[in-house]
Amino acid sequence: MAPYVLLALNLLSLRHVPAGTELHVRLATPIGSYASKPGDKVTAVLIAPVTIDGASVLPAGSVLMGTVRLARAVGFGIAHETASLAVNFDKCVLPGGDQLPVATRLLEVDNGRERVVENGLIRGVRTTSSIAYRATGYIRIALGWELHAQLALWAAKLLVVQVPEPEIYYPAGVELTLSLRDGVIGMAGPDSEQRLTEQDRENLRLITAGMPYRAYVPGSNRASDLMNLLLAGTRSEIEDAFTAAGWEHPAVRTLRSKIAGMRAVMEDRSDRTLPVSRMLADDRDPDMTWEKGLNDVAKRHHIRIWRQNATWNGKPLWIAAATRDVDFAFLRRGGAMTHRIEQDVDQERDKIANDLEFTSCTDLVDWWDRPGAPVSARNATGDLMVTDGEMAVIRLNRCAAPRAVSADSEPLPSRPNFAKRLLRREILSFRSDVYRTNTYWRSYEAARWMVAAIRHRHHSTAEKETLRVEKSGSAEDGFLARARNSSWLR
């Protein structure tokens, strides 16, 4: 009888993870188009648990194993202008050692400038596509074909104008988003993290009653980012947790840092400590600011944190506003060029909660419906923000032994030596000039940008409205569910 009971219990604990489920992983193996070869082994670590019906089926810390499917280098630029890279993960090893076969497709390289196409192939950038290099093309058209002017322009391109590295290289620690192509049967495991009790929720309602709901821009006093995280811990505990999760402090806004940021934009490269714009809460600048990026200055995760005059369970409380930059936008309120944010701000809130929980520097991570929290608003530059109205509540610990993803192999060569790079640049420049440095191509390019901008605006508007309706509906459903369970409706 006992074996049948155990079998029944095991069957009850099985959960089906449907196709299309997203897996957020962090590379443990460096990969690149220049040095990787098809068949090379690749591993990554799941940094956000996959939960079904409230139970963790694929816990954080599970290891995804696979191989490089394709690695095509630019080389000297004779055959290809851009690099390509593809990886295939086909096995998931759970923390307990159990193995599951999986079929995945790469959806996104987090904060990377490279593009992931429908079949999961990563396409690198064209080295002559940067703003700085394109500007020299327009200058050449303006100068005509006068020999001395051409020599001066060639010298400027060689000595002044820097171009992005066309080879793809991702060191250990780069984050990817995968999608399951087929469903997986997994076993629900125990939830090891402590969650908020009803008494905790009531206490938080009282404690946060006077805390701000939004940050605002100094000077104009325009309301901006939504407060969507609540941290309980000392400054050092927060510092240790974010550092362990791979986050960095942005640079102070100075003339030098502004120039460095402008160069990164013009040269299509990264600036992982790019300053953030000023925002206030309680008439104060943030006490802490963190950001996380890769090789695209247009994209980054960032969070601003303000210390509050309150404690919870003996720990200081901090309120925070987190958003993710996804692109640049131009000629809007706030500046000639600003970042455009991801409209579903819950994604950034959950990313930070999962990042900190993965480090083992937390002993409580939960989500709480803050009374009065808005579910739809626009930030200071006009971007729509939609949310389910919940805050992530995170209680930190002393983080004595933070968990991190360690590289399982030595770094790879990411690019050829200087002489080869110089030769490659001249070949790619020649190819680009033959194809693109003429009035016909520039006219086509301008028309293509205009059509793409119109299409993007149309699709973005439709997606925003759909997401706003979905989030408003889920928030309303949650409110009604809470109301049904509350005493004042009984």
Mean pLDDT (whole number) for 20-33 = 96
Helical pair 131-143 and 255-267, crossing angle rounded to 10 deg: 70
Mean pLDDT (whole number) for 28-39 = 97
**pLDDT value of residue 61:** 94
More confident residue, 481 or 179: 179
Give me the percent of the chain exceeding a pLDDT of 90: 59
Task: For residue 378, give every residue at least 6 positions away whose Cβ sits within 8 Å of its Cβ, in sequence order, or none.
Answer: 384, 385
Give the Cα separation of 428 and 374 in Å (integer). Answer: 51
**pLDDT value of residue 486:** 32
Is residue 281 within 8 Å of residue 320, measured between CB atoms?
no
Task: For residue 481, give every residue at least 6 positions away whose Cβ sits within 8 Å of its Cβ, in sequence order, or none.
Answer: none
- Residue 483 pLDDT > 50: no
Is residue 309 within 8 Å of residue 189, measured between CB atoms?
no
The two tokens of residue 37 are 């070869």
Mean pLDDT (whole number) for 58-86 = 94
Give the Cα separation of 27 and 41 in Å (integer). Answer: 12
From residue 423, give the alpha-carbon distance in Å to each of 229, 268, 369, 428, 429.
50, 20, 59, 9, 10
Helical pair 147-159 and 131-143, crossing angle rounded to 10 deg: 170
- CA torsion 123-126-131-134 (nearest 10°) is -150
**pLDDT value of residue 480:** 36
User: DSSP letters along 135-159, please?
Assistant: HHHHHHHHHTT-HHHHHHHHHHHHH
- Residue 152 pLDDT > 80: no
pTM exceeding 0.75 = yes
Residue 316 bridge partners (DSSP): 311
Mean pLDDT (whole number) for 405-418 = 91
**pLDDT value of residue 67:** 98
**pLDDT value of residue 237:** 97
**pLDDT value of residue 334:** 74
Is residue 391 within 8 Å of residue 202, measured between CB atoms?
no
Taking 3-state DSSP, the helix, strand and coil percentages for the chain, each rounded to the nearest 5, stand at 30, 30, 40
pLDDT band, residue 12 (cuts 50/70/90): very low
- Residue 464 pLDDT > 60: no
Per-residue pLDDT tens for 388-398?
999 999 999 99
- Residue 250 pLDDT > 90: yes
- Residue 256 pLDDT > 70: yes
pLDDT band, residue 164 (cuts 50/70/90): confident
The two tokens of residue 486 are 């509350």
Mean pLDDT (whole number) for 24-52 = 96
From residue 12, give the alpha-carbon distance in Å to each of 3, 187, 471, 489.
14, 9, 32, 35
Specify the 3-state DSSP secondary structure of 105: strand
Per-residue pLDDT tens for 279-306?
999 999 999 999 999 999 999 999 999 9
More confident residue, 423 or 356: 356
**pLDDT value of residue 466:** 61
pLDDT band, residue 463 (cuts 50/70/90): low
Task: For residue 251, give every residue at least 6 positions away whose Cβ sits within 8 Å of its Cβ, in sequence order, or none.
Answer: 257, 260, 273, 274, 275
Give the Cα separation of 368 and 77 in Å (integer). Answer: 53
The two tokens of residue 127 are 């080295």
Mean pLDDT (whole number) for 261-278 = 85
The two tokens of residue 435 are 């194809």
Is residue 341 within 8 Å of residue 299, measured between CB atoms?
no
The two tokens of residue 7 are 């079998």
- Residue 442 pLDDT > 70: no
From residue 18, give the alpha-carbon distance in Å to each of 23, 179, 181, 376, 479.
12, 10, 9, 30, 28
Specify the 3-state DSSP secondary structure of 298: coil
Amino acid at site 139:
I
**pLDDT value of residue 260:** 86
Give the Cα separation of 344 and 385 in Å (integer). Answer: 6
Query: What is the residue-averaged pLDDT of the chain?
Result: 85
Q: Phi-psi bin for 301: left (phi > 0), alpha (psi -120 to 50), beta?
A: beta
